[in-house]
Structure 1
Amino acid sequence: MNRSFAGRRALITGAGRGIGRGAAIALASAGAEVTLVSRTRSELEEVAETIRLNGGCASVAPADVSDPAELEAVFEGLGAQPADILVTAAGINRPGPLVEVPVENMAAIVEVNVLGTLWACRAFAKRVIPGGQPAAVVTLSSQMGTVGYPGRAPYCASKHAVNGLTKALALEWAPQRIRVNAVAPTFVKTALTEPMFRDEQFLQTVLSRIPAGRLGEVDDVVGAICFLLSDEASLITGHILAVDGGWTAQ
């Protein structure tokens, strides 16, 4: 089926790297006008240039998702035509034994992964609901939002929270025709995760937990995001779509 987002306006947080970057490029290539959000302007400009070179339409809006005022300003800057697609891909992790993780690292995980998602969803809905048009949100969760993993307690807690937020907002906004779903990937190969997979023992431990026998690719997750945002998923809301090669089926 030919999936088109022509005439749609999408805002993607965490758009400078990894899954957020991939989602932005995919949505733009399918016709959406995209607004790219992250803290690092240079990364956003690179993504925007890639999109424009391929005939797409992109603008950049540097902001810290953990600051609700900055996010409000980004959404206000969209003007009279609000975004009708939101992808919240901004996220961080600071692994380590809980008793050794600095308090500021734990706070940062909650501020970005949980509150950053909440602030973005809130700012999005405030501008979509008055217009009455249908809209779709995909939050970025993780397999760690369903299971636990040693050395990642704050991260696991944050992604469990994202799952709860996703389900609650799906119910709250269903009457306004706003669908809210999440994708929950396994370990995905990105520039940020590459260093951890240089540890062969860790890599083999991870692979042993994935029945499909491989790490995730950005495109695996992007495909799921685009499906959930599309009209093909018009009756799907409140769902956490695992993209984990079977990890959480065990």
Structure 2
Amino acid sequence: MEITFKGKRALVTGASQGIGREIVIQLVKCQAEVVAVARNKELLDTLQKEVPSIRTIPLDLSDWNATREALSNIGPIDLLVNNAGLAILGPLTEVKEDDVNRLFDINVKAMINVTQIVVKNLLSRNAPGSIVNLSSQASLVGLLDHSVYCATKGAVDAFTRAAALEYGPKNIRVNAVNPTVILTDMGRLGWSDPKVADPMLQKIPLRRFGEVHEVVDAVVYLLSNKSSMITGTCLPVDGGYVAT
């Protein structure tokens, strides 16, 4: 299946490492013009050295007003990937207010803010668009020590469905991808202990964790015209975890 985004501009948040970084690289391979947003300027600089054609914007997306100011003049955006995310894990009884605020600021508020900016621009141009939100299997099942994180990803899914309903008549599609554990550098580190990994693996029918490219491929498909009849969908990329 050949996918091209020639003539399209894409905005990717959380673009400096992991899944976001690989999404940027793949979109450029598919001929998109890409704007990469992340908090870590040094990592963005290394990404730009690898992919010189991109535009980078170092930005703390948890700051609502700074985000609106920084993205106000980026020009038309046709494709949006809300990839920026944060995980703070631990027992519910030990959750602090600051933890809740940080998780919702990045995982939910930043997504809403950036989406609003992009949708307003699409509407002003009467242009079609495609938006993909990075959610998690944590929105679909309960995970131990993930209570607030699960709540934020549940909000991502609910927002995805409501935004898809609202803007479908304008030919703006909104979908989500819900991965299981993905073997980014951080994923490999966090799940390297068999005592931690094995119980999770036993719940995955494919008996393995996901690779980064398997999430990237799903995101690129949902952004593309190959998925032109798909909106409001939350797509598990989880080896069958939530289906069994």
TM-score range for the pair, normalised by the shorter chain length: over 0.9
Is 1:118 the counterpart of 2:118? The answer is: no
How many residues of Structure 1 are paired with residues of Structure 2 in the alignment? Answer: 244
| Distance of 2:19 and 2:127 partners within structure 1 | 27
Q: Distance in 1 between matches of 2:65 and 2:79?
A: 20
Distance in 2 separating the partners of 1:133 and 1:19: 27
- Following superposition, the deviation at residue 102 of structure 1 comes to 2.4
**Which amino acid letter does the alignment assign opposite residue 138 of structure 2?**
M
Residue equivalent to 1:34: 34
Preserved contact between residue 220 and residue 243 of structure 1 (Cα < 8 Å): yes
CA contact (8 A) 1:211 1:247 kept: yes
Q: TM-score, normalised by structure 1?
A: 0.95
- Give the whole-Å Cα distance in 2 for the aligned partners of 1:74 and 1:182: 25
Structure 2 residues not aligned, in runs of 5+: none
Report the equivalent of 2:88.
94
CA distance in 2 between partners of 1:49 and 1:83 (Å)? 23
Deviations 1:141-188, CA, capped at 9 Å, x for gaps: 001111111100000000000000000000111122110000000011
| Pairing 1:192-203 to 2, within 5 Å after superposition | 192-203=186-197
Counterpart-to-counterpart distance in 2, 1:29 and 1:51: 10
**For the Cα contact (< 8 Å) 1:75–1:124, is it kept in 2?**
no
Q: 1:74 is matched with which residue: 66, 70, 73?
A: 70
Q: Deviations over 1:108-133 (max 9, x none)?
A: 11110011111111111111111011
- 1:11 paired residue number: 11
Measure, in 2, the Cα distance between the counterparts of 1:175 and 1:122: 16
Q: Superposed, which structure 2 residues align to 1:100-249 within 5 Å?
A: 100-249=94-243
Q: Which amino acid aligns with 2:167?
A: W
Partner SS state of residue 148, structure 1: coil
C-alpha distance in structure 1 between counterparts of 2:97 and 2:213, whole Å: 34
Question: Could you say what secondary structure the match of 1:133 adopts?
Answer: coil
> Which range is displaced more, 70-79 or 157-166?
70-79
The aligned counterpart of 1:44 is: 44
CA distance in 2: counterparts of 1:76 and 1:196, whole angstroms: 37
Q: Which stretch shifts more, 89-98 or 199-208?
A: 199-208
Superposition CA RMSD, Å = 1.0
Question: Secondary structure, in 3 states, of the residue corresponding to 2:99?
Answer: helix
The AA in structure 2 aligned to 1:242 is P
Give the partner amino acid of 1:188.
I
For 1:101 and 1:40, locate their aligned partners in 2 and report how far apart those are by CA, in whole Å.
26
SS state of the match for residue 61, structure 1? strand
Task: Give how far 1:199 is off.
Answer: 2.1
Whole-Å Cα distance in 2 between the matches of residues 71 and 139 of structure 1?
17
One-letter identity of the residue aligned with 2:35: T
Distance 2:107 2:166 in 1: 21
Q: Which amino acid in 1 is paired with 2:61?
A: V
Please state how far the C-alpha of 1:107 moved relative to its aligned partner. 1.5
Instruction: Give the residue type in structure 2 aligned to 1:28.
Output: V
**Quick one: distance in 1 between partners of 2:100 and 2:165?**
29
